[in-house]
Amino acid sequence: MSPMNENRSTASGGADATKQALAWSHTARFYTTAAQLNQLPAHDLAEIAFVGRSNAGKSTAINTLAQRRQLAFASKTPGRTQHINLFSVGPKDAPDAIWADLPGYGYAAVTRSAKLRWQQVMADYLAVRRNLAVVVQMVDSRHGLTDLDKQLLSFVAPRVANGAVKLLVILTKADKLNRKESDQILRQTQDQLAEMATDESDIQIALFSALKKQGVGEVADILRTWTQNCRPLAFPDEILNQPEAEDLDGSDEAPPLPAP
């Protein structure tokens, strides 16, 4: 685990904390899905958004964190699951966070207009969603941050810089690297993210392997610690009342939303 700024909050650490964090992430359950931003429910919980290029290993990492086989849908056709899927986390009667699985980006076979539309939805979500407290960006450890990853980060960079949103970059599929390569990509990513770091920012990097179960406890611990440190949001999300991106599936009606 690699904090970018030693002064900021890091994971609480320790075997007990990791166990509790894994118990916490295991509570993740499906809440609702939204085809556009104005379908996202109003709630007062912190949202942890998972983003990444198609095929970066995002669904696998979410399932591994939750210790569930099919929580996040690993699409056979990358780029097809173009919804924001929400999961609630914490006690059943009093969830304490929402995980938001954002559509994977950069899949070559998606049409240019579909790409642009989703880029806009993600840019809007990352730039203005009030509940957004943490962005978890999944990056294939063999490739490191791509231009597209950096572009996506730029949408949320101002909120990371002022500390409103914390950033965790997960270097996935770490089992494919040897020790030297792991050290190298960690350093390189650290250098790139240092450009975003300020006195207020909270940025961490984790090597992760779903296959080897590497980094799972640490990531759960960071997310739980950050969730606990979030200030509760007192007001409904103003996004609900904003006109947003056009409806993708052609239906005008937002689906009824269950309680988190």
| Partner residues linked to 203 by β-bridges | 167
Q: Which stretch in 43-51, 52-60, 149-157, 229-237 sits in contact with ligand GDP by CB under 6 A?
A: 52-60
Least separation, in Å, of the C-beta of 86 and ligand GDP? 16
Least Å distance, CB 76 to ligand GDP, is: 9
Contact 27, 90 (CB under 8 A): yes
By CB under 6 A, residue 83 contacts ligand GDP: no
Can you read off the two tokens belonging to residue 76? 């056979």
Cα radius of gyration rounded to whole Å, the chain: 17
Among 32, 36, 60, 85, binds ligand GDP (CB under 6 A): 60
Considering the complex, state which of residue 34 and residue 210 has its C-beta at the smaller distance from ligand GDP. Answer: 210
Q: Tell me if 236 sits within 8 A of 42, measured CB to CB.
A: yes
Residue 240 to residue 23: CA distance in whole angstroms: 32
Binding of ligand GDP at residue 55 (CB under 6 A)? Answer: yes
Q: Is 78 in the site for ligand GDP (CB under 6 A)?
A: yes
- How near is the Cβ of 118 to ligand GDP at its closest, in Å? 14
Distances (CA, A) of 146 to 18, 101, 106, 159, 182: 31, 20, 10, 21, 17
- Which CA distances in Å does 16 have to 20, 23, 178, 221, 228? 6, 11, 29, 10, 16
CB of 224 to ligand GDP, least distance (A): 21
Which residues ranging from 196 to 255 are in contact with ligand GDP (CB under 6 A)?
209-211
- Cα separation values, 259 from 48, 87, 93, 94, 128, Å: 18, 11, 10, 10, 23
Site map (CB under 6 A) of ligand GDP, residues 150-189, x = contact:
----------------------xx-xx-------------
Torsion sign (Cα): 216, 54, 133, 258: negative
Q: Name which of 4 and 71 has its Cβ closer to ligand GDP.
A: 71
Contact string (CB under 6 A) for ligand GDP, positions 89-128, x = contact: ---------------x------------------------
Positions in the binding site for ligand GDP (CB under 6 A): 52, 54-60, 74, 78, 104, 172-173, 175-176, 209-211
